[in-house]
A and B are shown apart, each in its own frame.
Chain A
């Protein structure tokens, strides 16, 4: 069965500092991996995804993530945090090989940015 673990329910960084949000997955099949962002009182928005090919994936708002099969990780990074990055971030994995595949979400990491 597929699962996702996000390390740290809350991460706080200074404006301009590196953002690193950690995600580890478990999957019995090659995974499809996603990062979503949720701003207050809004739905989730896709930041980036890995399906096949290049393991370093670039997304919107300057975020990127690297798929590391050997470490079963898909950590999200941004070189320089901006106040507008404050939000909740969810890592997710596509659950299995089915045409109606559900996506399994991690429990989320709240990112705070200090001025």
Chain B
């Protein structure tokens, strides 16, 4: 069964800490994505990557960075966590499908991060 695995389901961190959220996929997908999900705001794209060492800003990149050193792993980094970054974080992947995404995304189970 194909999988996107997020390292933690629940995480509690203190304000100002550096936080790493890890995502690993076993499907050899080129594209990987990080979203945050908040009530009433839906899914908002933070960053995505379409190849190793490549990254693109999404709609809300401020306060975040990413790393993709290997094809299967895409890390989201909160440089200095703040309480407004308390959220559900979702990782997703998809293959490179040519023109347009006909595959859709495969999502991880999510990491619920609380910053206190």
A43 (CB) vs chain B CBs: closest residue: B107
Number of chain A residues whose Cβ lies closer than 8 Å to a Cβ of chain B = 29
Asked whether A99 lies within 8 Å of B104 as measured between CB atoms, the reply is: no
Q: Tally A-B pairs: CB < 8 A.
A: 74
Kindly list chain B residues whose C-beta atoms are within 8 Å of the C-beta of A28: none
A41-B110, A51-B102 known; A99 vs B45 contact (CB < 8 Å) = no
Number of chain B residues whose Cβ lies closer than 8 Å to a Cβ of chain A = 32
Bound CA span A96–B58, Å = 15
Closest Cβ of chain B: how far from A2's Cβ, in Å? 10
Bound CA span A34–B96, Å = 17
* A70 within 8 A of partner (CB): no
Known A99-B96, A105-B42; further 10 A-B contacts with Cβ < 8 A: A42-B110, A43-B110, A44-B107, A46-B104, A90-B43, A99-B50, A100-B48, A100-B96, A101-B99, A103-B94
A-to-B contact residues, CB < 8 Å: 9, 29, 32, 34, 36, 41-46, 49, 51, 90, 92, 94-103, 105-108
